Amino acid sequence: MIFGRSERGKPPVEPVTLKILVAGGFGVGKTTLVGAVSEIRPLRTEEFLTEAGRPVDDTTGVERKHTTTVAMDFGRITLREDLVLYLFGTPGQERFWFMWDELSEGALGAIVLADTRRLEDCFAAVDYFERRSIPFLIGVNCFEEAARYPVEDVRRALDLDEAVPVLLCDARDRSSVKDVLVGVVQHAMDHDAGRRQTVTT
Ligand SMILES: Nc1nc2c(ncn2[C@@H]2O[C@H](COP(=O)(O)OP(=O)(O)O)[C@@H](O)[C@H]2O)c(=O)[nH]1
Ligand SMILES: [Mg+2]
């Protein structure tokens, strides 16, 4: 066996690395999602919600949440031997909007996580990606306490374009999150193909 070759005798591949953003409202499950799939210990910059932060961070409906991401979550997942995703969880609170432009630089696409109990919390993220033509999909994080709605209802409530995928998921579950990630890569590729077509025809 030659060193540097994989078991199947093929030379090792230099993987393509893609950047995916994970956005959505406060407490929707962004940190959980990145942690569920990341192969590296996810880098988290969480701070305990302080008394001082209480009037700013609205925890109504997310009473179990005691920490808040102040900067961002970061993780990595190898989808295939030649495809590695870097995940960036964007800070949900409005006071961190200034970071988004930098984070979205070079991003292939985005996941907007949604909780059907607080759907309005993801309006800002949807708006942001629509305006910048960054391909995104909606991942409805199905908290067991929340009522289930058909994806078409979610699409209508968010006034989404037909092309935007809406997927149900569980942010705690690795395989569920993987499906969402594959979905966003696929959607971004379709989006890109569509754009190229518009340019050439
Ligand atoms: N039951 C349930 N709890 C979840 C789920 N996803 C996240 N959580 C919990 O919801 C809280 C907020 O999640 P977190 O990932 O910190 O939200 P973030 O603010 O978007 O990063 C945490 O206590 C999580 O454990 C889920 O799919 N189901
Ligand atoms: Mg978080």
d(CA 197, CA 162): 18
Q: Is residue 2 part of a domain?
A: no
**Which CATH number belongs to the domain containing residue 138 in this structure?**
3.40.50.300
Residue of the CA atom closest to atom 28 of ligand 1:
143
30 lines ligand 1 (CB under 6 A): yes
Ligand nearest to the CA of 26: 1
What's the pLDDT at 122? 93
Distance 28 CA to ligand 1 centre (A): 6
Q: How far is the CA of 29 from the centre of ligand 1 (A)?
A: 4
Is 7 inside any structural domain?
A: no
Give the pLDDT of residue 54: 55
Domain membership flag for residue 5: no
Residue from 32, 60, 148 to probe ligand 1 pocket by mutation (most atoms less than 8 Å from CB): 32
Tell me if 3 is assigned to some domain. no
When computed from its CA atoms, the radius of gyration of the chain, rounded to whole angstroms, is: 18
User: What phi-psi label fits residue 116: left (phi over 0), alpha (psi between -120 and 50 degrees) or beta?
Assistant: alpha
Give the residue numbers spanning the domain of 32.
Answer: 16-200
pTM of the model: 0.83
Whose alpha carbon is nearest atom 3 of ligand 1? 143
179 within a domain of the structure (yes/no): yes
The pLDDT of residue 174 is 97
DSSP letters for 49-91: PPTTTTTTS--TT-TT--EEESS-EEEEEEEETTEEEEEEEPP
Compute φ and ψ for 183, nearest 5 degrees: -60, -40
Q: Judge contact between 28 and 115, C-beta under 8 A.
A: yes
Q: How far is the CA of 189 from the centre of ligand 1 (A)?
A: 29
Alpha-carbon distance of 87 to 110, in angstroms, equals 9
Tell me, what's the pLDDT at 1?
45
Ligand 2 centroid to 177 CA: how many Å? 16
C-beta of 90 in contact with ligand 1 (< 6 A)? no
**159 vs 170: CA distance, rounded Å:** 23
pLDDT at 195: 74
Tens digit of pLDDT per residue, the chain (201 long)?
Answer: 445 555 667 777 889 999 999 999 989 999 999 999 999 876 666 555 554 555 555 666 565 666 655 567 899 999 999 999 999 998 766 667 778 888 899 999 999 999 999 999 999 999 999 999 999 999 999 999 999 999 999 999 999 999 999 999 999 999 999 999 999 999 999 988 877 666 555
In the chain, the number of structural domains is: 1
User: Ligand 1 pocket, 31 CB below 6 A?
Assistant: yes
Which residue lies with its CA nearest to atom 26 of ligand 1?
A: 143
Cα(156) to centroid(ligand 1), Å? 24
